[in-house]
């Protein structure tokens, strides 16, 4: 089982299935809602993948890349995802930028991660900074999109967090149940949470057992996302690279953090901040402190932990001893 990010795990009673090259997990506060929840989640993820996957030739984003730099009308869903990605790029001062698509491909991440050669010997080409999000022209009202010739968008990170928020909201609407949706570390909550909150264990790898996790928090609303540099890695040109690209260099971010976890009012906001933290490196604590409604836990490669915005001290992973992050 592969994860696009360091994974989070929830307590007993959750369901899951492979999706997006990771695992889609979900839980509801009412057991009888599980069947409907899974059906809604599968439908939402299928729609997002067909719209945003750069690994599918038949996806809408792949077709948008073939317009030769001319404007084209896109679906309401793709327009919304791209607007979200552009808003994130603006709010993070370009640290999280959707125009890194060509850079990610040059690093070798040009197919589903399970198919990426882990010991790739191909030499790296010339690494260039990303073109920058400002070159993308989007008229949201008319759903008119222009991607300059040669620019490739990578919507993967934003689309996954977007999908988690959208699916959780839809499941709560359909079932009336409280729900947690977890897409490989991108977590979104909707509806009434359990009285004690949803317990979430933080770990670098999906294979980590909840009881072996270094930290557990309880969350009641909004979203939680974790981004890291230790799991989704591979060899390219004789060196180890990972999937979080620094738009300023066009290569994997040279970060002091191995894991960044953030809670926010939505999964999209949490994911944007956790990914930006990896790119910002040593500047992350100062940058994150400027962002309201965030609580953060940053882990250095030597295991040192930095907590911001009221993130609690680590508790052990017993579900009844969860620390609180709201």
Q: How many CA atoms lie within 13 A of 99 on its CB side?
A: 24
Number of structural domains (the chain) is 1
Residues spanned by the domain of 106: 8-324
Cα–Cα distance, 323 to 326 (Å, whole number): 10
Under 8 Å between Cβ of 231 and 205 = yes
DSSP three-state, residue 63: helix
Distance between CA atoms of 79 and 298, rounded to whole angstroms? Answer: 32
Q: Are 134 and 77 in contact (CB under 8 A)?
A: no
Q: Residue 41 has what pLDDT?
A: 97
How far apart, in Å, do the first and last CA atoms of the chain sit?
29
Contact 219, 261 (CB under 8 A): no
**Is the residue at 3 inside a domain?**
no
pLDDT computed for residue 317 by the predictor? 44
In a domain, 319, yes or no: yes
Cα–Cα distance for residue pair 127/237, rounded to 1 Å: 12
Pairing of strands 323-324, 215-219: parallel
**Lookup result for tokens 């930095």:** 306
Give the list of residues 6+ apart from residue 83 with CB closer than 8 angstroms, or none: 138, 140
- The structure tokens 């944007």 sit at 272
Q: Is residue 2 in a domain?
A: no
Mark out the alpha helices in 18-119 (DSSP H runs).
Answer: 34-52, 60-64, 76-91, 101-106
- The 8-class DSSP code of residue 78 comes to H
CA distances from 176 to 13, 27, 170 (A): 18, 13, 10
Give pLDDT tens digits along the chain (326 positions): 223 344 454 443 578 887 877 789 999 999 999 999 999 999 999 999 999 999 899 999 999 999 999 999 999 999 999 999 999 999 999 999 999 999 888 876 655 656 555 676 666 667 789 999 999 999 999 999 999 999 999 998 899 999 999 999 999 999 999 999 999 889 999 999 999 999 888 877 655 666 667 788 999 999 999 998 877 765 676 667 767 899 999 888 899 999 999 999 999 999 999 999 999 999 999 999 988 789 999 999 999 999 999 999 886 544 444 444 44
**pLDDT at 113 (0 to 100):** 55
> 174: Cβ–Cβ under 8 A, 6 or more apart, which residues?
36, 37, 40
How far CA 139 is from CA of 92, 128, 166, 211, in Å, comes to 21, 28, 22, 48
CB atoms within 10 A of CB 305: 14
99, 151 contact by CB (below 8 A): yes
Q: Which residue has the tokens 């400027």?
A: 290
The answer to whether position 135 is within a domain reads yes
202 domain residue, yes or no:
yes
Side by side, the strands of the sheet bearing 305-308 are 15-19, 22-28, 179-183, 186-190, 223-228, 257-264, 295-300, 305-308
Paired strand residues for 241 = 234
Sequential DSSP letters for 170-197 = HHHHHH-S-EEEEETTEEEEESPPPTT-
| Global confidence as pTM | 0.90
Residue 30 lies in a domain: yes
Q: What is the CATH number of the domain that holds 109?
A: 3.10.520.10
Q: What phi-psi label fits residue 312: left (phi over 0), alpha (psi between -120 and 50 degrees) or beta?
A: beta
Per-residue confidence (pLDDT) for residue 269, from 0 to 100: 97
pLDDT value at residue 118? 65
**What pLDDT score was predicted for residue 121?**
62
Angle between helices 156-175 and 267-280 (to 10 degrees): 160
Q: Give whole-number Cα distances, 172 to 15, 43, 124, in Å.
A: 16, 15, 46
The per-residue pLDDT for 318 is 46
């Amino acid at each position: 089982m592969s994860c696009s990010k360091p994974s989070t795990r929830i307590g007993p009673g959750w369901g899951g299935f492979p999706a997006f090259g990771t695992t889609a997990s979900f839980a509801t506060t009412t057991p009888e809602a599980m069947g409907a929840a899974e059906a809604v989640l599968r439908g939402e993820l299928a729609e997002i993948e067909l719209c945003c996957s750069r690994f599918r030739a038949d996806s809408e984003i792949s077709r948008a890349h073939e317009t030769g730099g001319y404007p084209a009308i896109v679906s309401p869903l793709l327009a919304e995802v791209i607007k979200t990605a552009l808003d994130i790029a603006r709010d993070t001062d370009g640290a999280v930028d959707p125009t890194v698509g060509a850079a990610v491909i040059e690093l070798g991440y040009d197919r589903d991660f399970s198919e990426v050669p882990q010991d790739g010997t191909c030499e790296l080409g010339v690494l260039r900074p990303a073109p920058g999000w400002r070159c993308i022209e989007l008229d949201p009202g008319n759903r008119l999109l222009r991607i300059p010739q040669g620019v490739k968008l990578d919507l993967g990170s934003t689309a996954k967090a977007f999908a988690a928020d959208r699916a959780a909201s839809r499941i709560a609407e359909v079932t009336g149940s409280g729900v947690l949706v977890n897409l490989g570390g991108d977590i979104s909550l909707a509806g009434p949470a359990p009285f004690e909150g949803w317990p979430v264990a933080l770990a670098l790898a999906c294979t980590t057992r909840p009881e072996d996790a270094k930290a557990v928090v309880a969350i009641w609303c909004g979203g939680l996302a974790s981004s890291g540099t230790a799991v989704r890695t591979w060899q390219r040109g004789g060196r180890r690279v990972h999937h979080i690209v620094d738009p300023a260099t066009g290569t994997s971010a040279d970060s002091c953090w191995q894991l960044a976890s953030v809670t926010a009012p939505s999964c999209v906001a949490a994911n944007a901040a956790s990914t930006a933290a990896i790119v910002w490196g040593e500047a992350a604590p100062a940058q994150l402190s400027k962002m309201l409604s965030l609580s953060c836990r940053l882990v250095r490669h030597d295991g040192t932990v930095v907590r911001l915005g009221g993130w609690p001290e680590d508790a052990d992973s017993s579900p009844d001893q969860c620390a609180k992050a709201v």
